[in-house]
């Protein structure tokens, strides 16, 4: 049996013993299935690289390398050196299988160049070194490794590489262009794996690329090096939580549990941070994982905790920040004033001014910002902490306060503009703005809903931060402007949170109208969520404040709100009395919007009191008012009130027609809540007619778009539950 056949037979035996098909092995070693088949049948000659890869994947160290066919001695015209300056590969390597595969694939083609880029501490060097160790055997002339952070000038690196190849110093040209030509000439006809670690730019790397197609180049960089058109680019993200926990466990011997999950999360799933945290735990025998997690839980000192005396996350980030031009460094710090999880270009532009998009692109290019969507950017948590420290060291508290106020003015003015589109005709206080105060450009209610749907978590965070920073007017004004969207989207928790902060801000500023209005709107959120008792307490407080300051409009609104709470608690007569009082006030004031909304509430109360026909007629009378005022959501709610009244009067045909129209209009105004209410009503009609199958279908549609309608405030949900 020939040497090739012996190798092939052993490979086939090992593969079969591992339960792998040729296709499975192809995916693991990235050699084609056809070539592997030829190797197994002795028709193709295996390489040392293939042997090493197969041994690793089949857990058979040395078994195949020993069977490699002998090769005739090569005549060499140069010194017989086979350098390998690779650092040792770590024994605690987890995850990154997909990235390993992509790097191998990139280096499998002639003249392949691969750039591994990512944030400092993300594990670029670790991945490159591990991959290089796996592939090194496949390069006849060896592997050359250079840390470009130490030797940054290309001509200096070329000199170093030529000396590593045994070139006499006196033969290396002094002229940079001549040296580049000499360097490439010496690589000609040879097969090297070149590893350039910590590259700073494409310009630094380009003179180091060989012209020889037998060689391959693996580069790591904190920049994406997009200008290297010929390269394959592999960008590293943080580890997954399971992989991060596995890494921490392998470094400490602590079994993954809730505390370990908390630690790696506090580390931002960043490999360097996890390694430092593990080192700190190992160096403190009195600590356990829970103690380490407790220390890392303090955001203000977390980045300082991630320092083991020789390595620190802060130092890793310093290297990136120190290389930034002033405009980029300044904006990076200012962006930490934004408390939300991400931000859009318009918001960043308030801080950065002209040219902000280009600066953001550059910060993204060097992995100091991520880009979760086309027009949105975000920080890694630890980068935010580090950049915040840089801001405090370079910008005065007064400057920071001024920039934060600019952001808040943009947020409040934009939210107010969106609210006017979503809830036109709503009573609003007059807010004066300087002429140069920017705002988001919004033209339609769809624009407003789409913007707020993306931005509301950040606006909520801004509202809280405004209260904490003493920007009390801006805090309650932002909450006030978010109320209409929260009502539409039924986002009760942020609605309640923002209005509790608004209450505190109004108290602190001594603005009693703002306190009364924030309290009343907090009550609306509680009632809408299905807690009329808690809502009633807020309405009483608001009513008292409005009466103290002599605000008749506010008093009538609070009475109407209190009537809704009474209705939800079964106090229908009392509710009817207060609603009619409020309606009379609005009609006297010529407030068509509020009068129609109040009459819609009277319709619901009349239905509960057994006057369904009168209720249906009253609800129907509000519909043209809402349509004329372009109050689309209110029109949908009127149609649902009509469907509810007709259902109780036994007029299922008209009830069906009203609910059908409500579903169509609800979709157009983005209210899944009102659509689900209408679907539930249609299911109730079907059951009343004896068709349980159809009822189940309608209810399923309701649950699909908005599950768990609150029975306390949605009559259709109460009927369904009976």
pLDDT in tens, 310-324: 999 999 999 899 889
At residue 83, the pLDDT reads 64
Contact indicator for 11, 39 with CB cutoff of 8 Å: yes
d(CA 144, CA 158): 11
Domain 97-235 has CATH 3.40.50.300: yes
- How would you class 681 by CB atoms within 10 Å of its CB: exposed for 0-12, middle for 13-18, buried for 19 or more? buried
Contact indicator for 433, 460 with CB cutoff of 8 Å: no
d(CA 82, CA 75): 14
DSSP 491: -
Structure pTM? 0.81
At residue 390, the pLDDT reads 78
State the fold for domain 623-721.
Answer: 1.25.40
- What SS3 string covers 323-337? CCCHHHHHHHHHHHH
Q: Is 11 helix (H, G, I), strand (E, B) or coil?
A: helix
d(CA 657, CA 24): 59
Buried b / exposed e across 561-581, counting CB within 10 Å, b at 16+?
bbbbbbbbbebbeebbebbbe
Residue with tokens 């190992």: 282
Domain 3-67 has CATH 1.10.260.40: yes
d(CA 112, CA 109): 5
Helix axes 258-266, 289-296, angle to 10 degrees: 30
Domain covering 511-590 in this structure, CATH number: 1.25.40.10
Domain boundaries of the chain, sorted by first residue: 3-67, 97-235, 241-311, 316-395, 511-590, 623-721
At residue 79, the pLDDT reads 42
Q: Is 145 helix (H, G, I), strand (E, B) or coil?
A: strand
Contact indicator for 652, 693 with CB cutoff of 8 Å: no
What are all long-range contacts of 548-552, with beta carbons under 8 Å and residues at least 24 apart?
A: 548/512, 549/512, 549/513, 549/516, 551/513, 551/516, 552/585
Here the tokens at position 609 are: 């009191």
Q: Over the chain (722 residues), what is each successive 10-residue block's mean pLDDT?
A: 87 91 81 83 82 83 84 44 75 89 90 94 95 89 89 88 90 90 91 94 94 92 94 95 95 93 95 96 94 90 90 91 91 95 96 94 96 92 89 86 96 95 85 79 94 97 98 97 96 98 98 97 95 96 96 94 94 96 94 95 96 96 95 96 97 97 93 96 97 96 94 94 92
199 beta partners: 221
Same fold yes or no, 316-395 and 511-590: no
Class of the CATH-defined domain 316-395:
mainly alpha
d(CA 315, CA 318): 5
DSSP 671: -
pLDDT in tens, 337-377: 999 999 999 999 999 999 999 999 999 999 999 999 988 99
Element (H, E) at 279: helix 271-282
At residue 76, the pLDDT reads 42
Here the tokens at position 22 are: 């040729």
Contact indicator for 415, 459 with CB cutoff of 8 Å: yes
């Amino acid at each position: 049996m020939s040497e090739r056949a012996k190798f092939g037979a052993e490979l086939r035996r090992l593969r079969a013993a591992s339960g792998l098909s040729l296709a499975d092995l192809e995916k693991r070693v990235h050699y084609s299935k056809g070539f592997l088949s030829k190797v197994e049948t002795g028709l193709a000659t295996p390489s040392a690289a293939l042997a090493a890869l197969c041994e690793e994947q089949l857990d058979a160290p040395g078994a195949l390398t020993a069977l490699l066919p002998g090769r005739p001695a090569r005549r060499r015209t140069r010194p017989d050196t086979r350098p390998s300056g690779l650092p040792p590969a770590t024994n605690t390597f987890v995850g990154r299988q997909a990235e390993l595969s992509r790097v191998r694939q990139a280096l499998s083609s002639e003249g392949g160049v691969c750039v591994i880029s990512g944030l400092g501490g993300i594990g670029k060097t670790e991945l490159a070194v591990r991959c290089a160790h796996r592939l090194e055997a496949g390069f006849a002339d060896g592997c050359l490794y250079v840390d470009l952070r130490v030797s940054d000038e290309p001509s200096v690196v070329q000199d170093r590489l030529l000396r590593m190849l045994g070139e006499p110093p006196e033969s290396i040209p002094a002229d940079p262009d001549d040296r580049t030509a000499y360097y490439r000439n010496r690589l000609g006809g040879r097969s090297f794996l070149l590893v350039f670690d910590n590259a700073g730019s494409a310009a630094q790397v380009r003179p180091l690329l060989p012209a020889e197609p037998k060689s391959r180049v693996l580069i790591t960089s904190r920049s994406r090096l997009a200008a290297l058109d010929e390269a394959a680019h592999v960008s590293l993200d943080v580890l997954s939580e399971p992989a991060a926990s596995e890494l921490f466990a392998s470094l400490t011997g602590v079994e993954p549990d809730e505390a370990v999950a908390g630690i790696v999360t506090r580390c931002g799933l960043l490999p360097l941070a996890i390694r430092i945290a593990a080192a700190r735990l190992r160096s403190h025998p009195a600590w356990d994982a829970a103690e380490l997690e407790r220390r890392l839980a303090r955001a203000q000192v977390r980045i300082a905790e991630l320092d083991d005396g020789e390595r620190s996350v802060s130092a890793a980030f310093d290297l990136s920040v120190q290389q930034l031009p002033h405009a980029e460094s300044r904006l990076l710090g200012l962006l930490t004033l934004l408390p939300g999880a991400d931000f859009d270009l318009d918001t960043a532009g308030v801080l950065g001014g002209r040219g902000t998009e280009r600066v953001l692109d550059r910060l993204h290019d060097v992995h100091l910002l991520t880009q979760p969507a086309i027009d949105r950017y975000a920080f890694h948590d630890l980068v935010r902490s580090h950049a915040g420290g840089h801001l405090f060291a370079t910008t005065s508290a007064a400057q920071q306060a001024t920039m934060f106020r600019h952001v808040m003015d943009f947020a409040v003015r934009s939210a107010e503009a969106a609210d006017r589109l979503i809830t036109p005709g709503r009573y609003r206080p007059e807010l004066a703005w300087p002429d140069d105060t920017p705002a988001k450009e919004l033209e339609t209610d769809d624009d407003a809903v789409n913007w707020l749907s993306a931005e509301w978590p950040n606006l909520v965070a801004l509202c809280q931060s405004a209260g904490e920073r003493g920007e009390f007017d801006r805090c309650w004004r932002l909450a006030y402007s978010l109320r209409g969207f929260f009502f539409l989207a039924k986002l009760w928790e942020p609605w309640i949170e923002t209005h509790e902060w608004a209450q505190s801000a109004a108290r602190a500023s001594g603005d009693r109208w703002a306190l009364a209005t924030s309290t009343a709107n907090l009550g609306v959120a509680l009632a809408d969520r299905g807690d009329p008792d808690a809502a009633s307490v807020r309405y009483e407080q608001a009513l008292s404040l409005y009466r103290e300051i002599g605000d008749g409009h506010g008093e009538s609104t609070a009475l109407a709100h209190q009537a809704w709470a009474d209705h939800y608690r079964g106090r229908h007569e009392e509710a009817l009395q207060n609603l009619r009082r409020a309606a009379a006030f609005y009609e006297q004031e010529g407030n068509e919007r509020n009068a129609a909304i109040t009459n819609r509430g009277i319709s619901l109360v009349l239905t509960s009191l057994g006057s369904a026909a009168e209720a249906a007629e009253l609800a129907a009378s509000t519909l043209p008012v809402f349509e004329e005022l372009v109050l689309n959501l209110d029109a949908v709610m009127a149609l649902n009130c009509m469907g509810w009244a007709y259902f109780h009067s036994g007029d299922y045909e008209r009830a069906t027609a009203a609910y059908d129209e409500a579903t169509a209009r609800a979709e157009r105004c983005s209210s899944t809540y009102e659509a689900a209410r209408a679907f539930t009503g249609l299911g109730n009609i079907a059951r009343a007619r004896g068709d349980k199958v159809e009822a189940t279908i309608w209810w399923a549609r309701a649950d699909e778009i908005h599950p768990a309608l609150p029975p306390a405030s949605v009559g259709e949900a109460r009927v369904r539950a009976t």
